[in-house]
Amino acid sequence: MKKLTVVLMAVSLLTGFAFAGGKKDASSGKLIVGFAQIGQESGWRGAETNSIMFYAGQNLDTIQLHFADAQQKQENQIKAVRSFIQMGVDVIGLAPVVETGWETVLKEAKDAGIPVIFVDRMAKVSDDLYATFIGSDFIDEGMKAAKEMARLLGDNGNVVMLEGTVGASAAIDRQKGFLDEMAKHPNIKIIARQSGDFTRAKGKEVMESFLKSYSKIDGVYADNDDMVLGAIEAIKEAGKKPGTEIKTVSVDGVKGVFEAMVAGEANVTVECNPLLGPQFFDAAKRLKAGEKLPKWIKSEEGVFRRETAAKDIGSRQY
């Protein structure tokens, strides 16, 4: 905690489009990076932000980080990117909240000669508008989740889906993977789908309404762990048993879900690695040095089940 406080003081923090930090100090020779973060919607995102801040804080002599929190609004992210362009940073990191609507601002970055790294979510733009994407294979995560759900339900039952932010690559592709895989299990019915915006509060709200509308729900799949944690609260408040009567599968691998698995209230989490700080700054350094990077730097991820959660929880870093 102490370390993080030092880091927070050392990097410039921008909330939304508000801009603090001034022109870059070109004489410093440091790698100057602007990072346009989505917000603070989930435990996963908090872990990613910490990973980035921590790495920058450990490398203050070589890295200058300007960090913007867009509070889940694309317009704020666009303003943050524009302010980074104005500052003349060396590299921009962007976690695009949604997939579309980025062409104009990315062309501005390109014209200014500033490479852009997509971090953890993708955007739908042509290859010349970004340098690389560092992140997960969301389709694969969704498929893994569906296989786990089919196993938990013995290939039969009713499933509801709590979906992430509408238009976010992490949500769109996880659902695609989940549904494609589920198509191989015709006795499992997807009876309802709705967005819970990747947050615990909305996940709970949506699950409450599902529980009112459907008397037989055997499984809940969520695009992230936070929403399933909200759903678990809703299920308990409705007098049902999460993890046994209603099985859960979600994506991320945050501590809270491991705790729920240890308590027998959740079943499976498919890992999505948020500890991207080291890879991000490594890529930024290489881009500054003029290197060309592969278009996708993929994260490696596992699947964690309730049966081993008590053992696994000890080695979890987020």
Q: Which residues bind ligand GYE (CB under 6 A)?
A: 41-42, 44-45, 120-121, 170, 198, 224, 226, 251-252, 272
Least Cβ distance, residue 252 to ligand GYE (angstroms): 5
In sequence order, the 6+-apart residues with CB closer than 8 A to the CB of 9 are none
Q: How far is the CB of 174 from ligand GYE (least distance, A)?
A: 8
Q: How near is the Cβ of 193 to ligand GYE at its closest, in Å? A: 17
CB of 291 vs ligand GYE, minimal distance in Å: 25
Cα 145 from Cα 271, distance rounded (Å): 10
Q: CB of 150: closest distance to ligand GYE in angstroms?
A: 21
Rounded Cα gap, residues 39 and 45, in angstroms: 7
**Nearest distance from residue 170's CB to ligand GYE, in Å?**
4
CA 285 to chain centre: 23
Nearest CB to ligand GYE, comparing residues 85 and 119: 119
Q: In angstroms, rounded to a whole number, what is the distance separating the alpha carbons of residues 253 and 176?
A: 20
By beta-carbon proximity to ligand GYE, the closer residue of 99 and 252 is: 252
H/E stretch holding 230 reads helix 225-237
Neighbours of 306 (CB within 10 A): 23
Residue with smaller CB distance to ligand GYE, 48 or 90: 48
Least spacing, CB of residue 244 vs ligand GYE, in Å = 25
Residue 308 in tokens: 């081993």
Minimum CB–partner distance for residue 79 and ligand GYE (Å): 20
Phi-psi region of 316 (alpha: psi -120 to 50; beta: other; left: phi over 0): beta
Q: Which is nearer to ligand GYE, 44 or 281 (CB)?
A: 44
Phi-psi domain of 25 (left: phi exceeds 0; alpha: psi -120 through 50; beta: other): beta
Residue 41 or 218 with smaller CB distance to ligand GYE: 41
For residues 171 and 164, the answer to whether their CB atoms sit within 8 Å is yes
CB contact burial 167-192 (16+ within 10 A = b; e otherwise)? bbbbbbbbbebbbebbeebeebebbb
The CA–CA distances, whole Å, from 209 to 203, 205, 242 equal 10, 7, 16
β-pair type (303-305, 268-271): antiparallel
Q: Give whichever of 135 and 242 is closer to ligand GYE, judged by the CB atom.
A: 135
Nearer of residues 32 and 145 to ligand GYE, judged by Cβ: 145
List CB contacts of 291: < 8 A, sequence separation 6 or more: none
Nearer to ligand GYE by C-beta: 172 or 272? 272
